Amino acid sequence: MPSEPSRTLETFPNPNPERDYEINISTPEFTCVCPMTGQPDFATITINYVPDQRCVELKSLKLYFWSYRNEGAFHEKVTNTILDDLVQAIAPRRATVSGDFNVRGGLHTVVTASYQKPA
Amino acid sequence: MPSEPSRTLETFPNPNPERDYEINISTPEFTCVCPMTGQPDFATITINYVPDQRCVELKSLKLYFWSYRNEGAFHEKVTNTILDDLVQAIAPRRATVSGDFNVRGGLHTVVTASYQKPA
Amino acid sequence: MPSEPSRTLETFPNPNPERDYEINISTPEFTCVCPMTGQPDFATITINYVPDQRCVELKSLKLYFWSYRNEGAFHEKVTNTILDDLVQAIAPRRATVSGDFNVRGGLHTVVTASYQKPA
Amino acid sequence: MPSEPSRTLETFPNPNPERDYEINISTPEFTCVCPMTGQPDFATITINYVPDQRCVELKSLKLYFWSYRNEGAFHEKVTNTILDDLVQAIAPRRATVSGDFNVRGGLHTVVTASYQKPA
Amino acid sequence: MPSEPSRTLETFPNPNPERDYEINISTPEFTCVCPMTGQPDFATITINYVPDQRCVELKSLKLYFWSYRNEGAFHEKVTNTILDDLVQAIAPRRATVSGDFNVRGGLHTVVTASYQKPA
Amino acid sequence: MPSEPSRTLETFPNPNPERDYEINISTPEFTCVCPMTGQPDFATITINYVPDQRCVELKSLKLYFWSYRNEGAFHEKVTNTILDDLVQAIAPRRATVSGDFNVRGGLHTVVTASYQKPA
Amino acid sequence: MPSEPSRTLETFPNPNPERDYEINISTPEFTCVCPMTGQPDFATITINYVPDQRCVELKSLKLYFWSYRNEGAFHEKVTNTILDDLVQAIAPRRATVSGDFNVRGGLHTVVTASYQKPA
Amino acid sequence: MPSEPSRTLETFPNPNPERDYEINISTPEFTCVCPMTGQPDFATITINYVPDQRCVELKSLKLYFWSYRNEGAFHEKVTNTILDDLVQAIAPRRATVSGDFNVRGGLHTVVTASYQKPA
Amino acid sequence: MPSEPSRTLETFPNPNPERDYEINISTPEFTCVCPMTGQPDFATITINYVPDQRCVELKSLKLYFWSYRNEGAFHEKVTNTILDDLVQAIAPRRATVSGDFNVRGGLHTVVTASYQKPA
Amino acid sequence: MPSEPSRTLETFPNPNPERDYEINISTPEFTCVCPMTGQPDFATITINYVPDQRCVELKSLKLYFWSYRNEGAFHEKVTNTILDDLVQAIAPRRATVSGDFNVRGGLHTVVTASYQKPA
């Protein structure tokens, strides 16, 4: 089973689509590169979603996070992009992505974006 | 009093059915087997419910959790199944089951499903 | 001043009945006996109430808790009974009683019951 | 600048009356005397308020708390009195006072009272 | 890139104005001077906002906080001023600023002010 | 298997007497009676010992703690007595017993006694 | 049973003088007066001692702490005085007294003094 | 790469045998079976060792822990056995194994055994 | 009583020079300027000392810390300088100064220096 | 000032070589690559040393850690290598390096290596 960074999120059928329920996935192992200085940034990413027909597969999510390792990424943009990619992949009923970035210049930044499926 | 793993949940009459009240039961001692790798998974399971006519008996709940020890179980499915079995056994006014699974591949996953008795 | 276990809750006039306000009383020193095994059970009891015309007197509440020391008591029933006795004694505007019972068989149980004075 | 215990709360004009905002002041240094036993009681007092035209001055608040040092005071009454005195002094848009009293007889008591300016 | 204290907040275009999302920035490194005693005060400042067309740039925010280092500032006023300056700079959809000031005279003070863009 | 309070400590052969190793057993479920006031006292008891030829059996230890439930016991004496009884039962290479008693009159008391087998 | 502040420490015979063991008593309810400003000071006092022939009685210790309530006391001096008074009263094998004083002027002070009985 | 429970510990050459250094490995995912009741037990196992010529390979250690899943094991014996097996496999300069077992009957047990290579 | 930053440490006679005892003073309110970038640095300073004939006066210590507010100071140097100045002022029997500096560039630095009076 | 990953540690003269003192530097921002799977690993690295004639410069230390970002590194080896490189660069009187690696396969690993300058 090859393991390489990949921007593709694998999915599987939601085993219980008859019910709204929450899946919360978090990792302290997110790193990307500051587009201004080229230096590494570190964050804890937390995803919370209510699946509709598909769930995101955990191993592909790990590879997805890995794919940011050498990418320049602003805090605000990358958090929104992860949310957009998740919505694109699984069309959840609702989803929230939070990026909690390590202190830089004495400032601690957390960005939190949410999606709600149109009624 | 024989003690063996069992998927049957014993119940007893709710001593105070005239009132909505909450019963919260949690255990860090849930283990099952990953259906993909065959390796053990570990979780803390938390049940929160408002009983109607029946309450779940604690010892049988322990044996129920034990019954998953050698079963393959996906995080999402098993959390929903515990909720379904609880609803089946005691028909509560409402119930929530949460499965907080140990880190795998740097990802920490919590699945939370709820049931509300139809009005 | 004799100090003996007693199921009677002493009360005193609410000094500020013109206003809804909360009184929260908790103790980690509740013990009773398991009706199944006869062995001691231990719990932290928390009472939260909005008084109407009467407040519960603290010393008598301590003696009240003491009165359970040699009584058989199920988790669900005893929590509801404490709420019933409190309501009986002081007729509060609203009240909540929570019993947080020590782990038995790997399971940690919390029972929470509430009362709302009829409008 | 003389510093003596005083029941008078000094105030100053709210610098931003155009906006509702919260001021939260807490101190673990409140002590009074139990009216029953004459022995010292200790509490953490927390004040939270939305000022209208006046704010309470911090140094006078400290002297105000000091003024209870040799006074007999029941938990319920003194918490409500502090709220009444604050409302009297600054006529806030809303205010909450909480008294978190040290354990006596194994019981831990917290009293919380709130005020809302009439519309 | 010169680094000097400055009251000017630099901004950049919100990369995702199509969505309401939150940006939370906190720092324990705020210090100003007490206008009464001339002595240093210390606080943790937390900003939480939903951007509209502009976001605040982190480095300029750091220089902005720095600009208070030798300024006399009352707790209530300075918290409101930071909120006013943020609103002036980026016209957010909503914003909250909190100043959590170190203990003085045994009293711990937190001031929290919010802004909501008119509909 | 009858379960009654008993002052007898059951033992079993140390499976690894060839090596010094530590066994630490603690319980927050110790209660006795204050010999002065007759009121319940509560403590967390911690035992730490290096076994020689015998280990203490856990279930009998639980029944042993239970046997103090209606006994008058001073903090200092009861901690030393538990140590004496343990030494009597298993003749350990060394042992420490600690009793951490709940707050009474604002005072929190911990008594710690140790035994060392004579060389 | 009269309860008044008293500088006299009552004692009782050590029930286990044949063994060195530790008694640790702490209280967050110590208050005295700053000799410089006349304003209240607050501290947590911790006593740790190995008794010889006498132990200190808890209720009298509470009254002893109470006796400082209106006394001027410097941090360093009062901690040493409590140790001296304890040594005077019970002639322990060894003793340590620690005073952990609340923050004043941004500074948090802890004073710790020990006594060892001469060989 | 087949993954099955195995009592064999794989090893690899210590990359820095010229220096004493510590390797600490812990897991909350240890479960075995109580030999008395047949019911599952749970523990956190911590290994701390100074390698000599060999280090223990992490994946095989995981499979080793897995091998206890259906085995009857007393707390004292299993902790010593893990230490014995580790010493057998890698002949470390020194090693400590600790088993921190979940509460049973209100008692929390930790067993800690150490090995020191003969000089 | 004028309050200005000052590098002079006031002292007072040790009230108990007959005994070795520890005085621990800490403050999270230390700030200086980075000599490389000119930007503010923040630290928690902790002093621990055994006085000989003199103790350091708390208010002057506060003014002493204040005196670094606009000074360039390297982490290592300033921690040693504070220790040197303390030793110069009070000639303690022993003293330790620790500077715990806020994160810069993802690195958290603590410098700890000690002094022992020559025998 | 160019900022690129570099294995070279810059140094500066110890400002206080006349005294043994400790410098503790830690970062949660260390990442390398698992040599077995090629996947990212994450660790918190802590350095503690007593400088002799040279100290390590913080910015170069950050670039040094960065240089591991795309390198394969075993837990044991990389911790020892960081210690070796530090000793090579500054010849400290003593030094300790600890690598606290994120959970893999349910196992949490910490490696700690120390150096002592020969007398």
I·J CB contacts under 8 A: 55
Facing F3 at nearest CB: one of C4, C31, C39: C39
Facing G29 at nearest CB: one of D4, D37, D40: D40
Contacts of G43 in chain D (CB under 8 A): none
Distance CA F35, CA B34 (A): 56
C20 Cβ neighbours under 8 A, 6+ residues apart: C50, C93, D114
J119 pLDDT tier (thresholds 50, 70, 90): confident
Distance CA A86, CA D101 (A): 49
- Which of these is catalytic: J41, J55, J85, J100? J41
Query: Do D113 and C21 count as a contact with CB atoms less than 8 A apart?
Result: yes
Neighbours of chain C (3+ CB pairs under 8 A): B, D, F, H
Long-range CB contacts for residues D8-12, cutoff 8 Å, separation at least 24 = D8/D60, D8/D64, D9/D56, D9/D57, D9/D60, D9/D61, D9/D64, D9/D85, D9/D86, D9/D89, D9/D90, D10/D56, D10/D57, D10/D59, D10/D60, D11/D54, D11/D55, D11/D56, D11/D57, D11/D89, D11/D90, D12/D54, D12/D55, D12/D57
Q: Identify whether the C-beta of residue A58 lies closer than 8 Å to the C-beta of residue B109.
A: yes
Q: Of B16, B31, B44, B82, which to mutate for an interface test with C (greatest number of C Cβ within 10 Å)? A: B16
Are chains J and F in touch, 3+ Cβ pairs below 8 Å?
no
Contacts of C102 in chain H (CB under 8 A): 106
Q: Residue I88 is which amino acid?
A: Q
D41 is a catalytic site residue: yes
F119 pLDDT tier (thresholds 50, 70, 90): confident
Residues from A contacting J (CB-CB < 8 Å) are: 3-4, 28-29, 31, 37-40, 42, 66, 69, 102
Query: Do F28 and C3 count as a contact with CB atoms less than 8 A apart?
Result: no
Q: What is the mean pLDDT of residues A75-101?
A: 98
Contacts of H39 in chain B (CB under 8 A): 3, 66
β partners of residue D43: D30, D101
Which pLDDT belongs to residue I1? 45
Which pLDDT belongs to residue H54? 98
Distance CA D55, CA D22 (A): 11
Look at the block and give the residue holding tokens 């275009």.
Answer: E13
Which pLDDT belongs to residue E1? 45
Query: Do E23 and A111 count as a contact with CB atoms less than 8 A apart?
Result: yes
How does pLDDT run across I23-68, given as a tens digit for each residue? 999 999 999 999 988 999 999 999 999 999 999 999 999 999 999 9
Q: What is the mean pLDDT of residues F92-117?
A: 97
I2 pLDDT tier (thresholds 50, 70, 90): low
Write down the H helix ranges in chain A: 58-66, 75-90
Q: What is the mean pLDDT of chain C?
A: 96
% of chain B residues with pLDDT over 70 = 98
A119 pLDDT tier (thresholds 50, 70, 90): confident
B·J CB contacts under 8 A: 7
Residue E99 has pLDDT above 80, yes or no: yes
Are chains H and G in touch, 3+ Cβ pairs below 8 Å?
no
Query: Do G79 and I22 count as a contact with CB atoms less than 8 A apart?
Result: no
Which pLDDT belongs to residue J1? 45
Please name the helix (run of DSSP H) or strand (run of DSSP E) that holds residue G48, with its range, or none: strand G40-50
Query: Do J59 and I108 count as a contact with CB atoms less than 8 A apart?
Result: no
Residue B119 has pLDDT above 90, yes or no: no
Q: What is the mean pLDDT of chain F?
A: 96
* Residue G8, Cβ density class (10 Å: 0-12 exposed, 13-18 middle, ≥19 buried): exposed
Distances (CA, A) of I116 to I16, I49, I96: 19, 10, 9
Q: Measure E9 CA to nearest chain I CA, in Å.
A: 17
Which pLDDT belongs to residue A93? 98
Closest by CA position to E114, among listed E27, E17, E47: E47
Contacts of E29 in chain I (CB under 8 A): 31, 40, 42, 102
Q: Identify whether the C-beta of residue G44 lies closer than 8 Å to the C-beta of residue G97.
A: no
pTM of the model: 0.95
Distance CA B40, CA B29 (A): 12
Which pLDDT belongs to residue D2? 55
Which pLDDT belongs to residue J3? 82
Query: Do F102 and D106 count as a contact with CB atoms less than 8 A apart?
Result: yes
- Name residues of chain H where pLDDT drops below 70: 1-2
Residue C86 has pLDDT above 60, yes or no: yes
Q: What is the mean pLDDT of residues B73-85?
A: 97
Distance CA J95, CA J80 (A): 11
Query: Do I19 and G109 count as a contact with CB atoms less than 8 A apart?
Result: no
Query: Do B76 and A51 count as a contact with CB atoms less than 8 A apart?
Result: yes
Contacts of C43 in chain H (CB under 8 A): none
What residues of C are annotated to the active site? 34, 41
Tokens representing E75 are: 């707790």
Query: Do F42 and D102 count as a contact with CB atoms less than 8 A apart?
Result: no
Q: What is the mean pLDDT of residues E9-33?
A: 97
How does pLDDT run across F21-33, given as a tens digit for each residue? 999 999 999 999 9
Residue I96 has pLDDT above 70, yes or no: yes
Q: What is the mean pLDDT of residues D18-41?
A: 96
A76 Cβ neighbours under 8 A, 6+ residues apart: A111, E14, E15, E16, E21, E23, E51, E55
Q: Measure F106 CA to nearest chain D CA, in Å.
A: 7
β partners of residue E27: E45
F76 pLDDT tier (thresholds 50, 70, 90): very high
B1 pLDDT tier (thresholds 50, 70, 90): very low
β partners of residue I11: I56
Facing H3 at nearest CB: one of B3, B39, B42: B39
Query: Do I113 and J29 count as a contact with CB atoms less than 8 A apart?
Result: no
Q: Of F21, F55, F57, F100, which to mutate for an interface test with H (greatest number of H Cβ within 10 Å)? A: F21
Residues from I contacting G (CB-CB < 8 Å) are: 14-16, 19-29, 51, 55, 58-59, 61-62
Residue of D nearest to E110 (CA): D24
Residue of I nearest to E2 (CA): I37
Q: Measure I107 CA to nearest chain A CA, in Å.
A: 10
D52 pLDDT tier (thresholds 50, 70, 90): very high
Distance CA I103, CA E89 (A): 28
Tally of CB atoms within 10 A around E110: 19
I119 pLDDT tier (thresholds 50, 70, 90): confident
Please name the helix (run of DSSP H) or strand (run of DSSP E) that holds residue F81, with its range, or none: helix F75-90
Q: What is the mean pLDDT of residues A74-100?
A: 98
A79 Cβ neighbours under 8 A, 6+ residues apart: A45, A97, A98, A99, A111, A112, A113, E21
Residues from I contacting J (CB-CB < 8 Å) are: 74-77, 79-80, 104-115
Are chains A and B in touch, 3+ Cβ pairs below 8 Å?
yes
What residues of A are annotated to the active site? 34, 41
How does pLDDT run across G34-58, given as a tens digit for each residue? 998 899 999 999 999 999 999 999 9
Distance CA J107, CA J101 (A): 9
Which pLDDT belongs to residue J54? 98
Contacts of C101 in chain F (CB under 8 A): none
Which pLDDT belongs to residue D43? 98
Q: Measure A66 CA to nearest chain E CA, in Å.
A: 23
Q: Of E9, E21, E27, which to mutate for an interface test with A (greatest number of A Cβ within 10 Å)? A: E21
How far is CA F113 from its chain centroid?
10
F29 Cβ neighbours under 8 A, 6+ residues apart: C31, C40, C42, C102, F65, H106
Residue B2 has pLDDT above 60, yes or no: no
What is the secondary structure of B26-52 as a DSSP string?
Answer: EEEEEEEE-TTT--EEEEEEEEEEE-S
Rg (CA), chain F: 15
- Burial code (b: 16+ CB inside 10 Å, e: under 16) for H33-49 equals beeeeebbbbbebbbbb
Contacts of B108 in chain A (CB under 8 A): 25-27
Are chains H and D in touch, 3+ Cβ pairs below 8 Å?
no
Look at the block and give the residue holding tokens 């006593």.
Answer: G47
Distance CA J46, CA J99 (A): 7
Tokens representing J22 are: 């400790």
Report which of residues C68 and C3 the model is more confident about: C68
